[in-house]
Amino acid sequence: MDHEGVSRPPAPRTPVPARAADVVREPDVEAAPPGLGNRVGRVRDVVTASVAGHGGAPRWFSGVFAGVQAAVLSLVVVAVPALAAYVATSADPTNAGVEWPRAVAVGAGIWALAHGGALTAGGATITLVPLGITVLALFSAHASARRSALPGLGSWLAGILAYAAVTALVVVLAGSAGPVGAGPGPLLRLALGTVLVAGTGLGTGMVRARRLRELTRPWWSPVPPLVRSGAVAGVLVVALLAGAASLLAGAWVVSGRAAQGDVVAGLGVDLFGGTLLAVAQVAVAPNFVLWALAWLVGPGFVIGEGTLYSPAEIVSGPLPALPLLGALPTDAGGLLRWVPLVVLVAGCLAGWWLHRRLAATRAWEPFAASACAAVTAGVLVAVGTMAAGGSVGPGRLAVVGGSAVLVGGSVLLGTLAGAVLTSVPTDPVVRRAVTQRLRRGGAPSVEPTPQAQPAPAEQADA
């Protein structure tokens, strides 16, 4: 009843909207048509709902699921062609003693090689990292985390540990053909590479780019803006050089297609063998681009001991039977000696960006920013050159790729010179300081000589 004694029905309650964090999408099992992709999606939805609280599992369990999924997916992509190659060649009498687990072990070893491990075969150790498979593993980790993992530090760390656990199982599966038979060095590189691949892929998948900037702000905000601007300019130089190297590598492939065709004809592969050969070339395509970058910078690269491919000189030798190597350059000298000036041009563009970006208050700041850009570019290129090189066989083939010290040092010097040429003379603070110094040095001001003042005692006597 109200205050007038009249009985009225209770007022309907307005439903309170649920918070977005409390709403968990239930897996729509009945509406999904049958199929492998839908079954995988239903499993993912069940795991996500369980992690969010419906199943009582902690949040980090989603990271474990994403890490295992990422490792298994990329491993399957590598192991299936190896197993298919075994099936295609099983009728060959020379392969009578080879069982199918051996083919799977080889595929597992190649997957571990893409994470920094090593392969051993016939007394030779292969350490050349197929960066194409590394990129595949990064993408697999990114996509798995984006679809299955809940953001959080615990999920991220759990995903890395799960990915590392799968890697350990792969090492055991590869046996003596994997990094175990190559000594402790490849095992250490494999551990570091696994953490880098899993951490980078899962981290970028769990957190959006803008959110990642906010999360990492406590780490980079104490760094002076001068150093941050220089580092970004160095990354710009690397991006410009990588783009130019990609175009150069494409031009080499187009111009050398006749030699590549001769290699394919000499191998006599069928359709299936040609497909596997194409997959192998895709796996080392990023390495080929980084070799082109080493050529572009000046020091060049080698394909076996005693060879050299650079703008100034070419010393060739016997090459492995890989069609992609038929695209290697054949000309040197003449105007090609001036090709390394592209590093100077990239440095000039980075210096112009620094001039537009940096608000210098002291005359030495443009020099310091240019030095930071040069160091960043040189270190990044040196790391890439080191990752793209290694051993592909015994004897002279134990040396493949460019020299990280020479290539990185050339990029550092060229970037420093170009950045200083454009950022320093155009800076108003530097021009003002130089003008003041020239005025003081060129036309010194003549001040009157002070007259001798009498001593206080003499003044008293006067």
Domain spans in the chain, listed from the N-terminal domain onward: 59-219, 223-439
The better pLDDT of the pair 210, 23 is held by 210
User: Which of 75-89, 252-266, 336-350 is predicted with the least confidence, judged by mean pLDDT?
Assistant: 75-89
70 pLDDT higher than 50:
yes
| Contact by Cβ (8 Å): 293, 378 | no
In angstroms, rounded to a whole number, what is the distance separating the alpha carbons of residues 367 and 373? 10
Structure confidence by residue, pLDDT tens digits, 350-359:
999 998 888 7
Over 60: is that where the pLDDT of 76 sits? Answer: yes
pLDDT at 143: 93
Give buried/exposed letters for 63-87 (b at 16+ CB in 10 A, else e). Answer: bbbbbbbbbbbbbebbbebbbebbe
Mean pLDDT of the chain: 80
The pLDDT of residue 321: 81
Distance CA 75, CA 276 (A): 16
Distance between CA atoms of residues 195 and 265, nearest Å = 41
* Type of residue found at 457: A
Average pLDDT for residues 334-363, to the nearest whole number?
90
Q: Which residue would you say has higher pLDDT here, 24 or 159?
A: 159
